Amino acid sequence: MYDFLIVGAGLSGTVLAERLASKEGKKVLIVDKRNHIGGNTFDYFNSEGVLVHKYGPHIFHTNSLDVFNYLGKFTEWRPYEHRVLASVDGMMVPIPINMNTINALYGLNLSSEEVSNFLKGKAEKKDRIVTSEDVVLSQVGKDLYEKFFKGYTRKQWGMDPSELDAAVAARIPTRCNKDNRYFTDTYQAMPLHGYTKMFERMLDHPNIAIMLNTDYKDLEKWIPYDKMIYTGPIDYFFNHCYGYLPYRSIEFKFKTFGQGNYQPTGTVNYPNDQAYTRITEFKYLTGQQHEKTTVVFEYPKADGDPYYPVPRPENAELYKKYQLLAQTTPNVYFSGRLATYKYYNMDQVVGQSLTLFKKIQTELLTASNGQKVPLLQ
């Protein structure tokens, strides 16, 4: 008899398994369809001995000291600040757009204040901000929109920015200084020995059992458990009774080269000229010293593993129907990207999971005191 059946061995499921086992002494079975733990952050050494991320680059960054310290119990950190260049007009320029980007593109030598005025002069006034196109045009104007955003967005989402929710572009900052870092969070680092080693440490507990290559629906009738934590696609849990929630997927194509480095920085975006959206070189991220180097080319597509919920109003409405079902399903908690149909950074997933654990702790305490526990969500 297990106290908790956890579906999914990614960040959300692993954090909750670790907390329930180590802090509450609960017996946990964690199940995953894939043949490995770690979810989309899974990394491994390829045939050439280069450490790569199987599902594309995962760079850890957070402003939460609690999240940083929690994961720090299971890994040493290697400080790393990610930098991204974009291939535009035959040049490699920093992204997010900043002072260096503007000066390089237009052959200028503007100060921070002048860059701010330059962008204000390019920006198009919008009475209402509804779509991603509205967001970008209102911030940087048509020329920069077409150079950096329009083509990239079409490849990434299979739609024009005018068809996508404003939240997609709202995540992309514009700066008027020389800060070339992709993220500005207080804590930016990578697990010193990789994500998979960190996950192995988190799940190394006598109360945690792991089953891989397993669909939970094939075993839930046969293995007794008290409560479930579900981190998979919410529409799959309910047998797609309202239809399929759409996701964007990515095809990852890896190439290894017999040289020290392939490109000048960790990631280079290709907004316009190529079928792929970006190339990432892993040695920048991992700090590994190796005579060869491996890069990954990303080709977004409609079918495949679900990575990105498609942010359109009709999809949000469909999710709400499933959410209502989830809220009335007893003894099941829904957590993580797929179960809540929302894009989260890694630190947000960890934070959400730690918050859910505290909620479960409270409910366990309430139940032990003989009080009635409200319906789980």
**Domain presence at residue 266:** no
Domain count, the chain: 2
Q: What pLDDT, on the 0 to 100 scale, is given for residue 377?
A: 47
**Domain presence at residue 253:** no
User: Could you say which DSSP state residue 146 is in?
Assistant: I
- Specify whether the CB–CB gap between 235 and 54 falls below 8 A: no
Tens digits of residue pLDDT in 314-367: 999 999 999 999 999 999 999 999 999 999 999 999 999 999 999 999 999 888
* pLDDT tier at 92, thresholds 50, 70, 90: very high
> Domain boundary at 113, 144, 170, which?
170
**Domain presence at residue 303:** no
Same domain, 340 and 227: yes
Q: What pLDDT, on the 0 to 100 scale, is given for residue 295?
A: 98
Tens digits of residue pLDDT in 7-54: 999 999 999 999 999 999 999 999 999 999 999 999 999 999 999 999
Q: What pLDDT, on the 0 to 100 scale, is given for residue 368?
A: 78
Q: Kindly state the tokens that stand for 368.
A: 């032990």
The dihedral sign for the CA sequence 271, 276, 277, 278: negative
Same domain, 10 and 75: yes
Same domain, 239 and 327: yes
Q: For a pLDDT cut of 70, what percent of the chain falls above it?
A: 98
Q: What pLDDT, on the 0 to 100 scale, is given for residue 371?
A: 62
Same domain, 104 and 235: no
Mean pLDDT, rounded, of the chain = 95
Same domain, 18 and 152: no
Tens digits of residue pLDDT in 295-315: 999 999 999 999 999 989 999
pTM above 0.75, yes or no: yes
> Domain boundary at 137, 170, 203, which?
170
- Measured CA to CA in angstroms, residue 132 lies from 96, 114, 161, 251 at distances of 16, 26, 5, 24
Rounded to whole angstroms, the Cα distance separating 242 from 172 reads: 32
* pLDDT tier at 370, thresholds 50, 70, 90: low
Rounded to whole angstroms, the Cα distance separating 164 from 134 reads: 10
- Residues spanned by the domain of 163: 98-170
Is the pLDDT at 376 greater than 80? The verdict is no
Q: What pLDDT, on the 0 to 100 scale, is given for residue 273?
A: 87
Closest CA to 60 of 296, 280, 306, 349: 349
The type of residue at 202 is: M
* pLDDT tier at 375, thresholds 50, 70, 90: very low
- Specify whether the CB–CB gap between 190 and 287 falls below 8 A: yes
Same domain, 137 and 9: no
**Domain presence at residue 249:** no
* pLDDT tier at 111, thresholds 50, 70, 90: very high
